[in-house]
Chain A
Amino acid sequence: MAFAPRIREELTQICGSKWVKDDEVTLYTYRSDGLTLYTKLPMGIVYPANSEELVRVVKVLYREKLTFLARGAGTGLSGGAVPQEDTVIIEMDRLKEIHDIDYINRTITVGPGVVNLRISEKVRPNGYHFVPDPSSQKACTIGGNVAENSGGPHTLKYGVTVNHVLGMEVVLPDGELIQVGGDFHNQPGPDLLGLINGSEGTFGIVTKVVCRLTPNPEKAVTLLGIFDSVRCACDAVSAVIRSGTVPAALELIDKTVIYAVEQTLKPGFPQDAEAVLIVELEDLIDGIGNDAAKVEELLMQNGAQKVERAKDDAERARIWRARKESFGAIGRISPSYYVQDGVIPRSKLPEVIEQVEAIGKKYNLTVANVFHAGDGNLHPLILYNYKDADEVERTHHAGEEILKVCLSCGGALSGEHGIGLEKRKLMTDLYSENDLENMNWVRECFNPESLLNPSKAIPTPGRCGESKRPVHISDDIAASKMVARKSGVAV
Chain B
Amino acid sequence: MTTTTIQKPLGNSGQTIQQLLRGTDFDNILTCVHCGLCLDNCPTYRELHDEKESPRGRLYLMRGLYDGELDLTEEIKGSLDRCLGCRACETACPSGVPYGELLEKARGVIHETSSQGVIEQTLRTVLLKGLFRSTFLLSTASKLLKLYALTGLPKLITNTALGKFLPKSFVFQQHLLPDCSGRSFKQQHAHDDLQAVAGTKSLGRVGLFTGCVMDVSEAAVHESTVRLLRAIGYDVVVPEEQGCCGALHVHSGDRITARELAETNRQAFAEHNFDLVVTNAAGCSAQLKDYHHLFPKSDPGHNKDWKGLSSKIVDILELLSRHPEEVTQLSWRQDEDVVLYDAPCHLMHAQKIDANPRQLVNSLPGVQLVPLTESNWCCGSAGIYNLLQPELAGDVLKRKIDSVRETLEANPKATTLVTGNPGCLYQIRAGIREAKLPLRVIHPAVYLAERLQG
Contact = CB atoms under 8 A, between A and B. Distances in A.
A265 B38 CA distance: 14
A311 B104 CA distance: 40
A31 interface: yes
Given A24-B6, A326-B94, A74 B36 contact: yes
A337 B35 CA distance: 10
Contact of B31 (A27, A115, A326, A335): A335
Contacts of A31: 2
Contacts, number: 144
Interface string A100-130: 0000000000000001011000000000000
B354 interface: no
Interface in B59-105: 60-61, 64, 67-68, 70, 73, 75-76, 79, 92-97
A26 B28 CA distance: 23
A235 B403 CA distance: 50
Contacts of B96: 263-264, 329, 331-332
B73 A25 contact: yes
A139 B38 contact: yes
A327 B70 contact: no
B35 A328 contact: yes
Interface centre among B33, B73, B92 (most CB of A within 10 A): B33
Interface in B264-284: none
A30 interface: yes
Interface residues of B, number: 43
A75 B61 contact: no
A348 B45 CA distance: 44
Interface residues of A, number: 59
Contact of A328 (B61, B64, B79, B93): B93
B49 A47 contact: yes
B1 interface: yes
Interface in A195-251: none
A331 B76 contact: no
B3 A472 contact: yes
B27 interface: yes
B260 interface: no
A182 interface: no
A124 B197 CA distance: 48
Nearest to B49: A93
A21 interface: yes
Interface string B5-48: 11000000000000000100001101111111111110001000
B36 A136 contact: yes
Contacts of B30: 331, 335, 479-480, 482-483
B365 interface: no
A482 B25 CA distance: 11
Given A263-B96, A264-B95, A473 B1 contact: yes
Interface string A458-491: 0000000000001111100001101100000000
B52 A138 contact: no
B61 A483 contact: no
Nearest to A75: B36
Contact of B51 (A26, A39, A265): A26
B305 interface: no
Contact of A331 (B3, B4, B33, B40): B33
A85 to B, nearest CB: 10
Contacts of A328: 33, 35, 37, 93-95
A14 to B, nearest CB: 16
A28 B76 CA distance: 11
B35 A34 contact: yes
A360 B5 CA distance: 37
Contacts of A56: none
A331 B97 contact: yes
Contact of B60 (A28, A94, A470): A28
A365 interface: no
A91 interface: yes
B336 interface: no
A94 B49 contact: yes
Contacts of B51: 26, 29-30, 74, 91
Given A138-B37, A139-B36, A471 B92 contact: no
Given A47-B49, A328-B95, A32 B61 contact: no
A197 to B, nearest CB: 22
A330 interface: yes
B50 A75 contact: no
A23 interface: yes
Interface string A12-47: 000000000101111111111110100111000101
A75 B60 contact: no
Contacts of A263: 96
A269 to B, nearest CB: 14
B371 interface: no
A145 B290 CA distance: 40
Contact of A29 (B27, B32, B60): B60
A450 interface: no
B33 A335 contact: yes
B52 A329 contact: no
A73 B34 contact: no
A47 B45 CA distance: 13
Contacts of A91: 49-51
A67 interface: no
Given A73-B39, A325-B37, A24 B4 contact: yes
A328 B2 CA distance: 25
Contacts of B5: 24
B1 A471 contact: yes
Contacts of B70: 25, 28
A331 B95 contact: yes
Interface in A253-302: 261, 263-265
Contacts of B92: 138
B90 to A, nearest CB: 10
B75 A26 contact: yes
B57 interface: yes
B35 A75 contact: yes
A336 interface: yes
Contact of A139 (B3, B40, B68, B75): B40
25 contacts: A24-B6, A24-B73, A25-B6, A25-B52, A29-B52, A74-B39, A74-B51, A75-B39, A136-B35, A138-B37, A261-B94, A264-B94, A265-B94, A327-B33, A329-B95, A330-B33, A331-B30, A331-B33, A331-B94, A332-B95, A470-B1, A472-B1, A474-B68, A479-B30, A482-B30
Q: Across the A-B interface, give the 5 residue pairs with the lowest CB-CB distance, nearest first.
A: A331-B95, A325-B94, A328-B94, A25-B75, A264-B96
Interface of B: 1-6, 22, 27-28, 30-41, 45, 49-52, 57, 60-61, 64, 67-68, 70, 73, 75-76, 79, 92-97
